[in-house]
Structure formats: C-alpha cells, structure tokens
Amino acid sequence: MNTEALLSALETKFKLNPANARLLIVGLGATGYSAAQFLQHTPIKFAVIDSRKQPPLIDTLREQMPDVPVFSGGFDQSAFEVATHLLVSPGVSLNEKAIHKAVQAGVTVMSDIDLFACATDKPIIAITGSNGKSTVTTMLGDMGQAAGIKTAIGGNLGTPALDLLQENADLYVLELSSFQLERTTALNAKAATVLNVSPDHLDRHEGMAGYAKEKQRIFRGDGAIILNADDPLVMAMRSEGRKCLTFSTQRRADFYLRRGASDTLMHDEQVLMATDELHLEGTHNIANALAALALGHAVGMDMNAMRGALKKFKGLAHRMQKVAEVRGVRWVNDSKATNIGACIAALQGCDRRVVLIAGGDGKGADMRELVPAVKDKTKAVVLMGKDADLINQALAGCVPVYFAANMKEAVKIAASHAEAGDSVLLSPACASLDQYKSYADRGNKFTEAVMELATC
C-alpha cells in the first residue's frame, strides 16, 4: 500500500490527518521503536515518551531519528496535552493516569496493529488465546511457506508487526495479546481465532469477563472466525452471519480428533493424518494443530501442504520441549506456561506421573484452579519464586510440596522425588520476571541444571 492510501485509511478510521495531527508514541520498547521507524517515512508528526529514564532503544532512536522529540523519565502531562493521538505500546497500561486523562480530553488511542492494518491490503491471519498462540502462529508460517505463499509471522511473537511490512509478504500471520487487542480497532483479519480463554493478566483486566472481552476484539471485521468448541467462553463469541469453523479434541467439529485404534485428525469425514505423525507432546498440541489447519483452510491453503508442514513441525523452545531423559526420568521444559491454563494443559497432556516445578509471579490469578490437574497428574510439586507461598496455600496439601530458592535447587529436589518412568515438568503457571529476564531465560536455566544433573 502506498503512502497516499495509508493516509486515506488513517483519516477515515482515526481522523488522523498530517496537517493537524500530533501523534505521541507511548513506550519505547520494540513495538514503540518499530512505530517510530514506520512513521518517519510518512508526513505524520510524532514524538516518543517513556516512563523509564533510559529505555533500551533511546540511544538508537536519537541516533537514527535526531529530529524526533523524545521524553523519558516519566509521563510528562504536557506531552499528552498537545497530542491528538496516542499510539500506546502493549507494555503500557491504559490505566496510566496521563493516558486516562488524555482519553477523557478526547485524544484518540490506537496501536501499532492499527497502523499495520491501515498499511497493507494483504490477507491477515490473527491469533490470540491464553495458550498456544506462538505454536499455532509458527505452524501457520510453516504451512504458508509449504503451500508456496510468501508468509511473514510476528506481532506478539518475535518481529513487531510493522517491521513485517518490509518483507512484502503475500500473507501475514499475527500473534496478538490481549494488551495489543484492547487498543486496536482497525484490524479486519481474513481469518481469526481465540484458541482458548483461561485466567491470565487479571491484574491488568477487569476479571475474566474483561479479559475475554478483549480477546473477542480479534473478531472485528467480516473475516472467518475459528472457535474452540471445547471452550464455552470461546464458543460464546460466535457471531451470526459470519463464516465460522470449529475445532475440538473432545467432540465432533469442523476439524476434530477422532479417537480409535489409531487417533486421527479429521476434517468432516476426511482423514487428515494420524496423531502419531505429530512430533509434539500433549493433547493441547493436537488442538493447536487442528486450529492451524482450520485457519489455513479458511484462507484457502492447500491441505496437502499443510499436512506436510505439520509432519515436519518439531515444536518451539520452552513449549513442552523435551530436554533429556536421565535414568528413566523425562525432563520437559514448558517455561512458556506463564499462566494457570497453560500449566493445566501441560499436565493434562502428560502420560506419565509428574513432579511439577512451578511458581513465579502469579499476576493475581486464583491458583486454586490448579488443584484438580495437580491432584490427578502429579506426585509432588516444587515451588519457587514470588508467589510460591500463595500456590502452596491454594494446593492445600493435596500433594507433597517442596520449596526451592532457585532453579538449580528446584531441579535437585525434583530429581530426588522422580523415579524411572516419571516426568519432571517445568510448567510454572506464573510469569518469570520476579527472578528471570524472561520465560526463555527461566527455561534456559532449567535446561542448564538438567544437563548438569545428567553429567553427574
């Protein structure tokens, strides 16, 4: 899309006209920087603000865009008072006082995804959900390439959406978080899904109802909607008059799991592939494969190409990743399980007795929801991090619980309670930033400790 078409779309959707608009980018992380890079090639006047004194990309921004005003070290109200539009990064809460006051004064809030949607006329597949987003997004990227479609993936996963435009792709696959969706109004995906809804980020949303409402925003527009038939909160998002496909591991759906002597993935009456052809652990990953097939089908991908891509897909790091088998014990890294639903899905997908390593920042979630899966699947739980005591109280003695100060200690404790034929599963049900740089850093520390154990 050329600049003229972009400006026309921004004028129509957001009344953003370069002649009188003053846009303020709030937050200078990867998303904010990608927006600045994009906007510098347009006539739109913009500035950048960040509450941190030294945002990670501030030096790069000043070097590359010396004429762009940059405010750091706090949210200066005067910067917000002159803005007509705010582009708020997903890491910044819309409840910030300066943002709330600007909105009350009539300032328009938008997102990098809005800019992206106005900047391309290529088809978009949009994916959200509490769990499985990154896996399904990556699956679809592989499927698109296998089908001969120049496909770019990003958004909440990896590359910021606006940076993807440089790839001149024919299909864009975007993973979107609830934080991105709550400030996005212009997206009209050709196919979109909410994979599932379980407690997550309740400290930023108004309970489960508010969280689900933000997820549902992915269905704005007129494209196909893909729904998880096993999740009542998702099925409640069905909209009359919209093309809708469903997927399920528990019942008949448009794409579903048929159990038998050989479990198979099905599309209506068509056998697609046997589940043992997938290199993935857990029923939740079968659901991810079904969702990816439904999304690809909705945008016209070749079914044979999609099946071929799934057969080659090895999974993602820190998502039910088998690290090692040590003296008959399987060690699995699921550090990406940063919420309760992901941990429950991981436990339910295990076919062995489990010693669970969990804990971190629970983000205000009700940890009592872990109890049924923990009672059913685990023989012991090792807890660490900020909310270890909170999780212990929620489990209320349903299984033996042990405490560790760090990952190395957690692995040693888990090893002492695991026997041949068991699995030790790192699936924290919590965010990582109380002790680690990221979930990936946490997962890497787990892997290092396991490999050290293997050499003993």
As given in the structure block, the two tokens for residue 88 are: 């708020």
The number of distinct structural domains making up the chain is 3
Characterise 27 by phi-psi region: left (phi > 0), alpha (psi -120 to 50), beta (else).
left
Question: Is position 232 within any domain?
Answer: yes
Task: Give the list of residues 6+ apart from residue 449 with CB closer than 8 angstroms, or none.
Answer: 407, 408, 410, 411, 412
What count of Cα atoms within 13 Å lies in the side-chain half-sphere of residue 369? 16
Question: Is position 102 within any domain?
Answer: yes
> Is 133 designated active site?
yes
Q: Which helix (H) or strand (E) holds 222?
A: none
Looking at the fold, whether 450 and 423 belong to one and the same domain comes out as yes
* Residue 426 CB burial class (10 angstroms; 0-12, 13-18, ≥19): buried
Determine how β-strand 191-194 pairs with β-strand 171-175. Answer: unpaired
Strands (E), 212-277: 224-228, 244-248, 255-258, 264-267, 270-274
Q: Which of 49, 77, 110 is the last residue of a domain?
A: 110
Question: Is position 92 within any domain?
Answer: yes
pLDDT at position 211 is 79
CB of 42 closer than 8 Å to CB of 6: yes
Question: Is position 61 within any domain?
Answer: yes
* Residue 59 CB burial class (10 angstroms; 0-12, 13-18, ≥19): exposed
> Is 417 designated active site?
no
pLDDT at position 205 is 44
Q: Could you tell me which residues are beta bridge partners of residue 24?
A: 47, 86
- What number of other Cβ atoms are within 10 A of residue 411's Cβ? 25
pLDDT at position 207 is 66
Q: Which of 289, 312, 335 is the last residue of a domain?
A: 312
Looking at the fold, whether 167 and 288 belong to one and the same domain comes out as yes
Measure the CA–CA gap between 355 and 423, rounded to whole angstroms.
6
Q: What are the residue ranges in the chain where pLDDT is below 70?
A: 1, 199-207
Looking at the fold, whether 145 and 293 belong to one and the same domain comes out as yes
Looking at the fold, whether 66 and 134 belong to one and the same domain comes out as no
Q: Which helix (H) or strand (E) holds 333?
A: strand 329-333
Euclidean distance between the first and final Cα of the chain, in Å?
59
Vertex 101 angle, CA 100 and 104, to 5°: 90
Looking at the fold, whether 146 and 105 belong to one and the same domain comes out as no
Closest by Cα among 135, 132, 113 to 124: 113
pLDDT at position 282 is 80
pLDDT at position 202 is 47
Question: Is position 11 within any domain?
Answer: yes
Looking at the fold, whether 278 and 372 belong to one and the same domain comes out as no
Question: Is position 74 within any domain?
Answer: yes
Task: Give the list of residues 6+ apart from residue 316 with CB closer than 8 angstroms, or none.
Answer: 134, 135, 138, 336
Measure the CA–CA gap between 37 and 39, rounded to whole angstroms.
6
Catalytic residue among 85, 131, 190, 201: 201
| Per-position b or e across 155-179, b if 16+ CB within 10 A of its CB | bbbeebbbbbbeeebebbbbbbbbb
Measure the CA–CA gap between 217 and 232, rounded to whole angstroms.
17
pLDDT at position 56 is 87
Looking at the fold, whether 96 and 188 belong to one and the same domain comes out as no
Looking at the fold, whether 97 and 232 belong to one and the same domain comes out as no
Question: Is position 115 within any domain?
Answer: no
Q: Which helix (H) or strand (E) holds 115?
A: helix 112-119
Looking at the fold, whether 93 and 145 belong to one and the same domain comes out as no
Q: Phi, psi at residue 276, to the nearest 5°?
A: -75, 0
pLDDT at position 199 is 57
Catalytic residue among 131, 156, 196, 285: 156
Looking at the fold, whether 146 and 248 belong to one and the same domain comes out as yes
Q: Which of 312, 340, 373 is the last residue of a domain?
A: 312
CATH of residue 327: 3.90.190.20
Looking at the fold, whether 290 and 349 belong to one and the same domain comes out as no
CATH of residue 247: 3.40.1190.10
CATH of residue 36: 3.40.50.720
Q: Could you tell me which residues are beta bridge partners of residue 329?
A: 326
Looking at the fold, whether 139 and 99 belong to one and the same domain comes out as no
Question: Is position 217 within any domain?
Answer: yes
> Is 318 designated active site?
no
As given in the structure block, the two tokens for residue 203 are: 């400290």
Measure the CA–CA gap between 103 and 116, rounded to whole angstroms.
22
- Containing structural domain, residue 261: 120-312
